[in-house]
Amino acid sequence: MSEAESPERIAPDHDVTVEDVRQLMGASTPHFALQLSARIAKLIAPLPEDDPARILGEQEIRRLDELAVDGETRGVGAQDGQRALASLRD
């Protein structure tokens, strides 16, 4: 995954929407969280502070930054013989 953006999404006449932010949020994992955070930040940068897409984007950036550092736990935890995936803090 790169930080390159869809040509349609960065077209000068494209109005950034909440759905644009949600599309980027959908693929969030600890491994790609910082790249997604950067893409969302770039996407919402020109929007006014009260724009719904910017508000959602800022919330998502905070979540992604935390995800990148803390990692995530899915399911019921590690099973015998397995270890958890490392986060940036480990």
The per-residue pLDDT for 48 is: 96
pTM check: above 0.85: no
Query: What would the pLDDT profile of 61-90 be if each residue is shown by its tens digit?
Result: 999 998 888 776 666 666 677 766 665 665
Query: What would the pLDDT profile of 17-52 be if each residue is shown by its tens digit?
Result: 898 888 888 767 888 888 899 999 999 999 999 999
The per-residue pLDDT for 1 is: 46
Given a contact cutoff of 8 angstroms between Cβ atoms, the answer to whether 45 and 54 are in contact is no
Helix (H, G, I), strand (E, B) or coil at 25: helix
- What are the domain boundaries of the chain? 16-70
Given a contact cutoff of 8 angstroms between Cβ atoms, the answer to whether 30 and 85 are in contact is yes
The per-residue pLDDT for 62 is: 94
